[in-house]
Structure 1
């Protein structure tokens, strides 16, 4: 498929409120790709509506549909990391750092620091870092669960123990690490991978926002 044909592809973002799909919306704006936005609202139970399962069997968001000009049906892509990788590969290679040093293409150890950081963060954002945020969300829900008043202290105690023994120390470790990554950004850049915004920076925004809400003062 040529670059011209790629630009003619129809992109649809299945967007869910209060979800990670906001990052994909940001990415599409950065890529200046024309897209259609289909909006879904969470129910009173905060779960995604069942209609999202008509788009993808997992019924989650974000999901992106890409209809190529010569394709019979759209390609459906789920998972934030996979979506960012696919969209940047076809619509915005400038958001992927150069992989190899000049003249050393394909050699182990010849990758640029920018690209190594990019590859790491693309997995780290939804892996190591987001795991802490999910545990923090669970302890928050436990602490605020609608239970009888005499059980409330027990629930708060359990949540507090998990927060103090796991969430808080791990969160501090990761925030210190990320602060150092920004300080040492290649070329004195203001982004994680250097002077230019990358797909990895966009992936990082959701767990960073969640972390700042739970970080100790």
Structure 2
């Protein structure tokens, strides 16, 4: 939207005031294109960065991908990522606006998702409407259930769901071939105990909660916030797509992953989304080119 408080733009309008009426100025304000920044996604293999590729695809934005690879032995991110941001983690998104030299770097998947959708998501449907039609001007009006779910899930994905899955990943490593053979039985027993007292009971709650969310989704679903894909679904894709591969090796004799038909159907549906497939295809093409050198 045209910023009518900008001195430069006010001067531009004032010099043509005798030729413009109010409706024409309003029309200029609504049609002038907002300058878009150069977008650079700092991508790391086996990380949360892939869902940001999907988000950028759904937003229809042009972007460049800068590839980083984990150390194959330690699985740590390379030190070069610390040049992008002091934490040295991915995803990170760099924005360079026209006329500026310095890059603004966004980190944390939830914040990246929220910022990009707030800045570029209008008209995409990726953010549910905050108010029902006609209610936006009604101060104190309760927000829609879809919008409230969306806001909650932006924080839930990393704040509540990811911690037990991260612990599950560590426990899988403890039970894996990288542990020296002579201490593997002891380390494996510790991993089994931690899984039983922390990961499993927490994941039981999360899986039941997610099944309930889908069962009670606005407009009957089939997505978490209603009948349309939102950025919250994209953000939730990473933890949900890792649930089965991370828990199955630790759940050899249990039945934790049985049931939850709506949840597993939803996870399968996410992988069939056209935007998801475009994102995968793009990164497979880039990765193949790099690895082929």
Tell me the equivalent position of 1:22.
50
**Cα separation, 1, equivalents of 2:37 and 2:55:** 16
**Cα separation, 1, equivalents of 2:137 and 2:156:** 25
Equivalences for residues 187-198 of structure 1 within 5 A? 187-198=219-230
Shift of 1:74: 1.7
Segments of 4+ in structure 1 off by > 6 A? none
**1:9 is the counterpart of 2:1:** no
**1:144 is the counterpart of 2:173:** no
Tell me the equivalent position of 2:15.
none
Q: Choose from 119, 122, 129 the match for 1:98.
A: 129
In 2, are the aligned partners of 1:77 and 1:83 still within 8 Å (CA)? yes
Aligned residues: 216
Q: Choose from 51, 67, 75 the match for 1:39.
A: 67
In 1, are the aligned partners of 2:135 and 2:141 still within 8 Å (CA)? no
Shift of 1:170: 1.5
**1:53 is the counterpart of 2:82:** yes
**Cα separation, 1, equivalents of 2:225 and 2:164:** 22
Q: Secondary structure at the match of 1:151?
A: helix
In 1, are the aligned partners of 2:43 and 2:68 still within 8 Å (CA)? yes
Distance 1:105 1:176, change over 3 A: farther
State the TM-score, normalized to the length of structure 1.
0.92
Q: Choose from 194, 204, 207 the match for 2:239.
A: 207
**Cα separation, 1, equivalents of 2:69 and 2:243:** 24
State the TM-score, normalized to the length of structure 2.
0.69
> Which ranges of structure 2 fall in alignment gaps of 5 or more residues?
3-31, 249-256, 259-293
Tell me the equivalent position of 1:133.
165
**Cα separation, 1, equivalents of 2:223 and 2:163:** 23
Greater RCO (Cα-Cα under 8 Å, separation 6 or more): 1
Q: Secondary structure at the match of 1:150?
A: helix
Distance 1:141 1:88, change over 3 A: same
**Cα separation, 2, equivalents of 1:206 and 1:70:** 35
In 1, are the aligned partners of 2:221 and 2:227 still within 8 Å (CA)? yes
**1:63 is the counterpart of 2:95:** no
**Cα separation, 2, equivalents of 1:201 and 1:55:** 27
Shift of 1:189: 2.1
The root-mean-square deviation of aligned C-alpha atoms, in Å, is: 1.9
**1:117 is the counterpart of 2:146:** no
Shift of 1:147: 3.9
Tell me the equivalent position of 2:101.
72
Q: Choose from 209, 220, 228 the match for 1:177.
A: 209
Q: Secondary structure at the match of 1:76?
A: strand
Q: Secondary structure at the match of 2:227?
A: coil
